[in-house]
Amino acid sequence: MRPLGKVLCATGIIAVLLAFFWKDTFNPESLSGARVLLTGASAGIGEQMAYHYARFGAEILLTARREAVLQKVMEKCLTLGAKKVFYVPADMSSPSEPEKVVQFAVQKLGGLDYLVLNHIGNSPFQMWNGDVEYTRWLMQVNFFSYVALTTAALPTLEKNKGSLVVVSSLTGKIPTPFTTSYSATKFALDGFFSSLRHELIMQKRNISVTLCILGLIDTDTALEKTRGKVYLTASPAAEAALAIIQAGATKVQEVFYPWWLQYTCSLWVLFPCHRNQVLQSYYNYSSP
Ligand SMILES: *[C@@H]1O[C@H](CO)[C@@H](O)[C@H](O)[C@H]1NC(C)=O
Ligand SMILES: *[C@@H]1O[C@H](CO)[C@@H](O)[C@H](O)[C@H]1NC(C)=O
């Protein structure tokens, strides 16, 4: 483990340096009064993003399914310094909800500067079990609702030179075991939103699209699901949340968190012969 320790130490130093220079370009004041619609805001990374936006003085509309939890997050946001906070409970597996949520947000905040798409449906971390209906449902929650929310929000985002922030995963760049349907929804996001980004630029429509590629994050759900099944260290949710917010505010096209995932993706492309074997060695599968 010694050489690994050295590598980790070196990467840590580089990360600190990068963070130092990166912060230079991020102006927290740009978020003061920014109008943000945040999905999946009741727990995990979304909840942490809500608190960061609150500290930066944003005006936030939170959405997720559970009203009681949303209310608690809203109250904490107010104590942290958010200018305004609203919430609307919504289930993104219902095709009619996305448009309603955007309408509600525009009505409450008077427009949008940020649409931050972060919610996901429950995804078991297990081998493909043949449940096609489940995959269809997850595609609705993790992908189609993102498309519908974006479509409804594009006019107000364009008017305000706004930003679209899409939270994805390493498994949306590199297929990993135990995530068949989840991985498919994240690949779909990359396809749709990276294509949309081209079109917005070609049409000189001033809306940035930021795709966020996250590794294993230490949310309760992720830790519980992956325990004993994968040999990877989880990164802190609050830090992931901040990386996403900074990337959106600086209109970066893609952000990787932790930052070295970018190099993991490059290696994946460069070494097609050995990559599957190496990747599988990080997973614990004992046949039943
Ligand atoms: C888009 O809007 C941003 C923020 O207002 C501005 O800095 C940038 O110059 C604009 N870009 C174009 C191409 O108009
Ligand atoms: C691998 O999985 C098996 C079966 O679930 C479990 O008993 C074992 O402890 C796991 N190994 C590690 C190193 O987590």
DSSP label of 141: I
Q: 97-109 and 145-159 are packed helices; what angle lies between their axes, rounded to 10 degrees?
A: 30
Token representation of residue 180: 């068949």
What is the Å distance from ligand 2's center to 286 Cα? 7
CA-nearest residue, atom 12 of ligand 1: 206
What's the CA angle centered on 239, arms 113 and 249, to 5 degrees? 20
Note down pLDDT in tens along the chain; length 288 residues: 455 556 555 666 666 566 655 555 899 999 999 999 999 999 999 999 999 999 999 999 999 999 999 999 999 999 999 989 999 999 999 999 999 999 999 999 999 999 999 999 999 999 999 999 999 999 999 999 999 999 999 999 999 999 999 999 999 999 999 999 999 999 999 999 999 999 999 999 999 999 999 999 999 999 999 999 999 999 999 999 999 999 999 999 999 999 999 999 999 999 999 999 999 999 998 765
CA-nearest residue, atom 13 of ligand 2: 228
Mention every residue, 6+ apart, whose C-beta is less than 8 A from residue 256. 213, 262, 265
What is the Å distance from ligand 2's center to 256 Cα? 29
Q: Is 96 in the pocket of ligand 2 (CB under 6 A)?
A: no
Domain boundaries, the chain: 27-276
CA-nearest residue, atom 9 of ligand 2: 228
Cα separation, 136 vs 132, whole angstroms: 6
Chain segment 224-236, per-residue pLDDT in tens: 999 999 999 999 9
Res 286: pLDDT: 79
Q: Is 161 in the pocket of ligand 1 (CB under 6 A)?
A: yes
What is the Å distance from ligand 1's center to 162 Cα? 9
What is the Å distance from ligand 2's center to 232 Cα? 14
Assign domain 27-276 one CATH number from 2.60.120.1570, 3.10.20.90, 3.40.50.300, 3.40.50.720. Answer: 3.40.50.720
CA-nearest residue, atom 10 of ligand 2: 228
Res 230: pLDDT: 95
Q: Is 206 in the pocket of ligand 1 (CB under 6 A)?
A: yes
Cα separation, 130 vs 137, whole angstroms: 14
Res 1: pLDDT: 42
Q: Is 286 in the pocket of ligand 2 (CB under 6 A)?
A: yes
Q: Which residues are catalytic?
A: 182
